[in-house]
Every structure is written in structure tokens, then in C-alpha cells.
Amino acid sequence: MCGRYSLTNPSRLARAFPQLRYGEFSEIGLPRYNIAPSQIVLGARDGGRDAIEALRWGLHGRINVRAESLTARRGPLGRRCVVFADGFYEWRAGTPVRFTLRSEEPFALAGVWEAAGDEPPACAIVTCPPNELVRPVHDRMPAIVPPDALPLWLSADEVPADVARAILVPFAGAAMQAQPVSKRLNNARYDAPDVLRDDDPVQQSLGLGP
């Protein structure tokens, strides 16, 4: 699953996703080091909107939806979105591990969304089987939309299930890195830079590095 993630350097979004329009998002309190369910997040929706906007993480009580379930239904997928992150966390034996791109650039997590009246649209993050880097820590990981697939994922066009299956696959482990972080992350209300500090050096025991 994906239960926490980060967006620590939002200024990089414009460089990573130049095709999208940006507004002012001071209400989200960026940068964020410990983004948790039910909170306001930064994302973009399909339909050719081409705009980064506020979404709320949580859809009918669910924070994640499995890619296998999403693509098993007949016909095109429903409403699609992405949620922007520069790291996501998974736990093993109570120890949080942060996964990022080796470039440390932000990336787009696949999601689905629904309107929520006058509130920001509700969203859930799509998960898929883990790659070889995540597998020692968890049996699921968020599906990262490859940059070349982002225009289709956010377009107004329908996305058939077979096309979605090709997108919602584990991101290449060789392009990612992992680092244990502070157990302060376990408190969903704690959101400060020191959550990124390795205060419990277990990387070697997790098989994540030398």
C-alpha cells in the first residue's frame, strides 16, 4: 500500500512537469515531509485540465486502489489523476523506509478521483506489485506514471484497460533508491525535515545497501 509520502521541494515541479499550469498553494503548507491520508495534496486530474490543483487524499474511506482491480473491469477506466511526490514511505518491522528517484526529482503517482461538492476532489493512489528495490520492505508500491505516459493518463481521452495495465506497472528499481528514515514519521501529525534523518541505521539489515 501507500500510506505516507513527501513533497519536500515543490519548486522542482515546474521543471519536472512543464506542461502543467501552477497556481498558489499556500494552504497546503508546502514543503511537506510526512503527507498522510485525509490531508490536502497536490495533484492533477484528467480531462485536459493541464493544471496542478488541490485534492483530498481519501476516496470512500480508501486511500489506495489496486491496479489489478482497476484494470479488471470492462471498458475504459474512470476518472484518472496523479498525485505529486518526491518520495514515498513503506514500513518493515516498524522501521520507515523512504523511496525516491535516484535523480531526487518529483514524480507522479497514479490515482483515481471523484468530485466532492464544494470540497476539493477526493482521490486514491493506485498501487501495483513492488519492484526489486521495494520488495524486501513491502509487497505493494504506488504506481508511478512514466513521463511519456502522463499526457495520455491526464488527457480527456478514454484509456482502455489494456493500455492502463501497461502504465500501472512497477517503476524500474534501478532508477530508484531507498533510505531508512526517522521513526518520527510514525506520528501522522509530525511534519518536519528531521523525519528524513536516519536515526535507526538498519539499511544493511533490510538489504537496501552496503
Residue 210 within a domain: no
**Residue 201 resides in a domain:** no
Cell readout for 192 is 518536519
Whole-number pLDDT of residue 73: 77
Q: Whole-angstrom Cα distance, residue 32 to residue 41?
A: 10
The answer to whether residue 209 sits within a structural domain is no
47 contacts: CB under 8 Å, gap ≥ 6 = 154, 155, 156
Give dist(CA 172, CA 130) in Å, integer.
10
- Other residues' Cβ atoms within 10 Å of the Cβ of residue 85: 27
User: Which residues form the domain of 164?
Assistant: 4-196
Residue 170, C-alpha cell as written in the block: 512497477
Please report the pLDDT score of residue 26 as a whole number.
Answer: 56
122 Cβ partners below 8 Å, 6+ apart? 55, 56, 58, 59, 60, 113, 114, 115, 116
pLDDT of residue 210: 38
Tens of each residue's pLDDT in the chain, 210 residues: 789 999 998 888 888 999 998 876 655 668 999 999 999 999 999 998 899 999 999 999 999 999 999 999 776 677 999 999 999 999 988 889 999 999 999 999 999 999 999 999 999 999 999 999 999 999 999 999 999 999 999 999 999 999 999 999 999 999 999 999 999 999 999 999 999 998 755 444 454 443
- Residue 25 has a pLDDT of 63
Q: So what's the pLDDT on residue 14?
A: 84
- Total domains in the fold of the chain: 1
With respect to residue 136, please indicate whether it lies within any of the assigned structural domains. Answer: yes
- The pTM (predicted TM-score) of the whole model is 0.91
The reply to whether 203 falls in a domain is no
Smallest CA-to-CA distance from 111 within 67, 176, 53, 166 is with: 67
CATH number of domain containing 136? 3.90.1680.10
**Residue 209 has what pLDDT?**
44
205 within a domain of the structure (yes/no): no
